[in-house]
Amino acid sequence: MSAGGAAVTLTFGSLFSGIGGIDLGLERAGMQCKWQVELDDYCLKVLAKHWPDVPRYGDIKELDPHDLAPVDLICGGFPCQPVSIAGKRLAQADERWLWPEFFRIVRTLRPRYVLVENVPGLLSAGMGDVLGDLAADGYDAEWDCILAAAVGASHLRCRVFVVAYPTGCYVSEQVSPQSIIRERRAESRGGGSNESRPGWWLPEPPLDRMADGVPCGVVRAPLKALGNAVVPQVAEWIGRRIVDAAS
């Protein structure tokens, strides 16, 4: 809250933005996006369409963090391939292990909050680096695996979310799927399906590699972007907890 008692809008910057799943969720939670960092050409087109006035930056490895506006929160899901159980799980030995670049931006800008997303494989390959770097820089952290199904989607899509904040500044409620389920049940008892209530989203539409004779090459970029995207409903739920803690 401001000195006069009015609510202050939290700002955030987005790393590894993809098509903006986290960004969309945080905006629905009441935050304002100040900048995005993304390398993929297709994703950049999507971001430009939905956030035309937000500055965008390319390769994070070439990014000077001093060029970025200060924000209250930095979010992002760095590439999951180094830790995914579907891959070789080389973690830090994989050239796509970009957590150090994520943390380089955090260490320079020192936001009030950090939101990290990745696949569950991170827990057994690389999580020590994430938590250790954050702790060394004065951040406590909470984390949990959250299913897309916990917010009403018709698929599991389990992802790890880490919420970090300065040591001693506890976020109001643990980020946990059990908490989401309890909240949804309470809203259901209040009347109506959550999916029909404002702020709750319907499951994503079906999309296949061959639809109406369209070659898969035409839809490869959208499929890749969707496959890497974060379910906005989950980011929104976490974002609301952060907003509550900051108010």
What pLDDT was estimated at residue 110?
97
Judge if pTM exceeds 0.85: no
Please report which confidence band the pLDDT of residue 92 belongs to, taking 50, 70 and 90 as the band edges: confident
- For the segment 60-82, the average pLDDT, to the nearest whole number, is 96
Between CA 72 and CA 10 the distance in angstroms is 6
Contact criterion met (CB below 8 Å) for 148 and 155:
yes
Please report which confidence band the pLDDT of residue 247 belongs to, taking 50, 70 and 90 as the band edges: confident
Per-residue pLDDT reduced to its tens digit, 99-134: 999 999 999 999 999 999 999 999 999 999 999 999
SS3 label, residue 33? strand
What pLDDT was estimated at residue 84?
86
What pLDDT was estimated at residue 229?
76
Is the pLDDT reported for residue 158 higher than 50? yes
CA quadruple 202, 29, 197, 117: dihedral positive or negative?
positive
Please name which of 161, 59, 55, 64 lies closest in space to residue 104, comparing C-alpha atoms: 64
Please report which confidence band the pLDDT of residue 219 belongs to, taking 50, 70 and 90 as the band edges: low
Does residue 2 lie in a domain region? no
Does residue 48 lie in a domain region? yes
Read off the DSSP letter of residue 203.
P
SS3 label, residue 143? strand
Per-residue pLDDT reduced to its tens digit, 159-204: 999 999 988 776 655 555 556 556 655 554 554 444 434 444 444 4
Between CA 173 and CA 54 the distance in angstroms is 30
What pLDDT was estimated at residue 213?
46
Does residue 5 lie in a domain region? no
Please report which confidence band the pLDDT of residue 225 belongs to, taking 50, 70 and 90 as the band edges: low
Of the candidates 33, 75, 80, 169, the residue annotated as catalytic is 80
Contact criterion met (CB below 8 Å) for 152 and 200:
yes
Does residue 34 lie in a domain region? yes
Between CA 155 and CA 169 the distance in angstroms is 34
Catalytic annotation on 80? Answer: yes
What pLDDT was estimated at residue 40?
93
Number of residues that this document lists for the chain: 247
Do strands 139-146 and 56-57 pair parallel, antiparallel, or not at all (unpaired)? unpaired
Look up the domain containing 153 and give its range: 11-246
Does residue 4 lie in a domain region? no
Does residue 1 lie in a domain region? no
Domain count, the chain: 1
* Backbone φ and ψ of 221, nearest 5°: -65, -45
Q: What CATH number corresponds to the domain at position 221? A: 3.40.50.150
Q: Which are the contacts of 179, defined by CB distance < 8 A and separation ≥ 6?
A: 173
Does residue 134 lie in a domain region? yes
Strand order from edge to edge, sheet including 11-15: 56-57, 32-37, 11-15, 73-76, 113-118, 159-166, 139-146
Does residue 194 lie in a domain region? yes
